[in-house]
Structure 1
């Protein structure tokens, strides 16, 4: 607005010209400095420990955590569930008797992860999947826990099995077990105004590790048997994880014919990586917070991972877009079993677009550093 108001104390017109707004950064600061400041300020203001609750939150209390995008653990939150009271090896085999399930097989327990090739380069590798009798899968998982790793002379061990189909499997192939858990988590259903998009069943051994990744879901994770170990990074740490586009492949069995040796059928020799056709590149985090010096970005050193251990009966709220790496410890039977509820992220408002902006700026500034 142009006005004719009298101005007192103005020494010259140049004095009234606008200036660049202060950033809080030092003079001459760059985009890299702004990204660093974003990460360090977040960690200065937020603890690396989750809130520990002794009872379920109300829907309003839960919504406050969703709004802040911060995790919490409910100690013994699922103690009263039938699953906690009933599930063990014999019960699971009895209820699932005669049923086949989809199982993931990998040579190292490394489904959906980035592997480095000896010659250089990396591949994002997915597991080999096939249908097997549930009882056989459970027995194989127990054997993975109690059998020592073979020596080089003994050759490769049997593939690592993990029941981990993240496709609402507890309401599908594991529907016989669904009655033992709530159909939804009441405080989440009321607060979010929706039921779960998926309810998943997980059964594996300590040999399986889930690589660092993120999901577009509000996640309620419930430990039934054994123990889970989470390494968590908030969305603001996206510039730390060194996301790259990685060539995709899938484990597949290489078979050899033993007819000359008297074998009646082809026998699986080992799992090998088959590059996907057509060639596909998958964006994936390549930095591991447990091996921080490898594949680090200039920002990785500013990350402050949150480490969470879930005991039997504990519940974890894992907010949408948090990066998480997951390992596990088995119970005395050799099993680790969990259930999780995925509630779809609300893509309205500013959170989704802001998180995407942070990721993009981090990628661009890292590219500038490479050049």
Structure 2
């Protein structure tokens, strides 16, 4: 509760190792429970869903994945194939719907995890707003971003590698309004399973003749610290942590995080996370917004002077 009150992340090693999910979940079990039920699949050419794509003319796009529905057995088969085959040359598949999917799309698995985390229910004074199931392989990454949720992240299969920046470092991340786009498929209708060579970037709304939509997003990457910087980026003090199977991370609201992952021997990386609503009534939200705003004003001033 002291760490939560301070908005500080922490890891509880092996906190979930006794859960049924950690004793039973593997490729065979997941397929036996979910079978060929249709699931939403995010597909990208390089595992870069919901990320910044820097263009040769120095502009950038915020690119979302191509989404389709496939039988779970086919989706998991493709995830595993890429996870164990270094010569895989097709698209990257990720099961990443963030809409409380463990109580919806993957409800048959929900019995294997607790409905709430006891310490989080006490410290945050609420039950989770959403519980999500994630399944992918080491090709998928999550770009630096923040969420308006308190997050309890539990690693089930494989490993997750987090890079964390506190809200006070908002001026370091070079947030910009970036034109939104989505990966699309220009191949034949039956080419869903082999999209890589056919995937193109489509500006959202362009085909309907609508004006482009802009999304505020961090354009600086702490793993490429010399690129797309602000005057404050060099002062960033990123925290790095790897979650092993059974580990639990408390990721406070508004902390920037970038995530990579490593597969297990079956070519899978699987996790469950619990989202709890942020309390907007105290001083934390106002202070974080003020720091972010100061950084944005300074960046706009420098661009105007240039």
TM-score between both structures, scaled by the size of structure 2: 0.94
In 2, the alpha carbon distance for the partners of 1:80 and 1:199 equals 19
For 1:341, which of 271, 274, 291 is the aligned residue? 274
Query: Which structure has the larger Rg over C-alpha atoms?
Result: 1
Q: Is structure 2 residue 169 aligned with structure 1 residue 232?
A: no
Partner of 1:93 in structure 2?
31
Deviation at 1:98? 2.5
Q: Is structure 2 residue 202 aligned with structure 1 residue 274?
A: yes
Deviation at 1:119? 3.5
Partner of 2:68 in structure 1?
130
**Contact 2:84–2:266 (8 Å) recurs in 1:** no
Which protein, 1 or 2, shows the higher relative CO under an 8 Å CA cutoff with sep ≥ 6?
2
Secondary structure, in 3 states, of the residue corresponding to 1:365?
A: helix
Partner of 2:106 in structure 1?
174
User: What is the correspondence of 1:147-296 to structure 2 with a 5 Å cutoff?
Assistant: 147-149=85-87, 157-256=89-188, 270-277=198-205, 278=210, 279-296=212-229
Partner of 1:351 in structure 2?
284
Give the aligned CA root-mean-square deviation in angstroms: 1.3
Q: Which moved more, 1:181-190 or 1:212-221?
A: 181-190
Deviation at 1:366? 2.1
**Contact 2:161–2:261 (8 Å) recurs in 1:** yes
Partner of 2:235 in structure 1?
302
Deviation at 1:368? 2.4
Deviation at 1:188? 1.0
Partner of 1:154 in structure 2?
none
For this pair of structures, how many residues does the alignment match? Answer: 296
Q: Is structure 2 residue 9 aligned with structure 1 residue 71?
A: yes
Partner of 1:21 in structure 2?
none
**1:26-82 deviation per Cα after TM superposition (whole angstroms, max 9, x unaligned):** xxxxxxxxxxxxxxxxxxxxxxxxxxxxxxxxxxxx2x2121000000000001100
Secondary structure, in 3 states, of the residue corresponding to 1:359?
A: helix
Any gaps of 5 or more consecutive residues in structure 1? 1-61, 151-156, 258-264
Any gaps of 5 or more consecutive residues in structure 2? none
Partner of 2:54 in structure 1?
116
Deviation at 1:117? 1.4
**1:177-233 deviation per Cα after TM superposition (whole angstroms, max 9, x unaligned):** 000000010111122221101000000000000000000011000000000000000
Deviation at 1:163? 0.3
Deviation at 1:147? 1.8
Partner of 1:314 in structure 2?
247
TM-score between both structures, scaled by the size of structure 1: 0.78
Partner of 2:264 in structure 1?
331
